[in-house]
Amino acid sequence: MKYRDIKQLINQEIDKTKKLIEMYEEETKPVAPDCAIDILSRNEAMISKNIVITSLLQAKSKLSALEYLLSNVGTRDFGKCVRCRKEIPLGRILVRPESLLCVKCSQE
């Protein structure tokens, strides 16, 4: 696969991740005080909001890793496991851009 194709795939993943971040940010906005909800509903809303906040933080971390990854396309270490030096499949790189290990090494 050519570097141009890899960059395109990474950019597509960046776009998807940015859209997720926008959605999560919208979901974490405060509820208007005039929206009356009971205690149980408020607790459920708070729990749900905490889950969304966690997802938002993970998406932001992934975006940062993808942007870093994009800047490294074409370098000699791009896509290589830091332990065994074998190629990391592009699918794994796109899903877990922060991963510096191949599946085998990450399981050891």
* Share above pLDDT 90 across residues of the chain, in percent, rounded to a whole number: 51
What are the boundaries of each domain within the chain? 3-78
Q: Which of 20-24, 31-35, 69-73 has the lowest mean pLDDT?
A: 31-35
CA 80 to chain centre: 20
Contacts of 66 (CB under 8 A, 6+ apart): 10, 13, 14, 17, 97
User: What pLDDT, on a 0 to 100 scale, did the predictor assign at position 104?
Assistant: 93
pLDDT, tens only, 45-84: 778 889 999 999 999 999 999 999 899 898 988 889 999 9
